[in-house]
Amino acid sequence: MTALLEVEDLRVAYGKIEAVKGISFKVDAGEVVTLIGTNGAGKTTTLRTLSGLLQPVSGEIRFDGKSLKKIPAHKVVSLGLAHSPEGRHIFPRMTIEDNLRLGAFLRNDKEGIEKDIKRAYDLFPILGERRKQAAGTLSGGEQQMLAMGRALMSRPKLLMLDEPSMGLSPIMMQKIMATIQELKAQGTTILLIEQNAQAALSLADHGHVMEVGKIVLSGTGQDLLHDESVRKAYLGED
Ligand code: ATP
């Protein structure tokens, strides 16, 4: 089987600073794959490059059989790759429903869009209850739900989530993780970036540990969860 996403020897730099130093990994259709690692490891840079927001120095990105190199961000979305960015980036003055509609900007199948808005409300009932309110009135966790809902509105083949649990209370975080689990059960392919290694590895099929721009360890979510070095470095064990 060919992978949905294949990243090969990817290098990305900000001027002279090399943030991603030759990483390779793949994501098969239907899988949840996670990149974990501490601050500054290069996880966000990797996602931004996959989205077309940054250009790699070298390496290859193949998505659904096509090379993504030199494809601009708006085209990447139309190929089926959606990105729910770190820090959410919702539009605070627009209503929740209009924020969701924005995620469908490339679609013109009205019925399908309405169906998917309903699906977002099924997934996140709070968004439905507040759909006419300005998105800026939502709590941090609810804004994270909106960002995920919006990314799903493009009906992506691959959903990329950058730190969905960032800044959330433990209960909110559990909710977000349960939703990721639910999306997975519905067949959504997900690339998840997380600092919360425990939560991410618990639900991931495969994981990769990044340190200063490199992948230093890879395995199934369960293998990494039980790996001694991972437990020491990322799960706070002595
Ligand atoms: P975090 O969890 O803190 O977001 P990360 O693993 O996502 O960490 P990146 O944000 O990808 O890491 O950062 C990787 C490296 O690139 C860091 O050393 C960071 O300081 C640097 N970096 C990130 N963005 C820029 C930028 N716009 N200009 C210069 N250096 C940057």
pTM of structure: 0.91
Q: What is the mean pLDDT of each run of 10 residues along the chain (238 residues)?
A: 91 96 97 93 95 95 92 89 82 95 90 94 93 93 89 92 86 88 92 92 96 96 93 77
pLDDT at 144: 87
Sequence-distant (≥ 6) Cβ neighbours of residue 165 within 8 angstroms: 144, 173, 176, 177, 194, 195, 196, 199
Q: What is the pLDDT of residue 89?
A: 82
Which residue, among 42, 45, 86, has the nearest Cα to 211 in the 3D structure?
A: 42
Cα 87 to middle of ligand 1, angstroms: 14
Q: Is 64 helix (H, G, I), strand (E, B) or coil?
A: coil
**Cβ–Cβ < 8 Å for 193, 35:** yes
Residue 1, pLDDT score: 63
β-strand pairing of 66-67 with 158-162: unpaired
pLDDT of 160 reads 95
Q: For ligand 1, atom 23, which residue shows the shortest CA distance?
A: 45
Give the per-residue pLDDT at 87.
67
Round to whole Å and give the CA distance between 234 and 195.
Answer: 8
Domains of the chain, CATH where assigned:
5-80+156-235 (3.40.50.300), 94-155 (no CATH)
pLDDT of residue 203: 93
pLDDT of residue 141: 84
Q: What is the ipTM of this complex?
A: 0.92
Ligand 1 atom 10: residue of nearest CA: 44
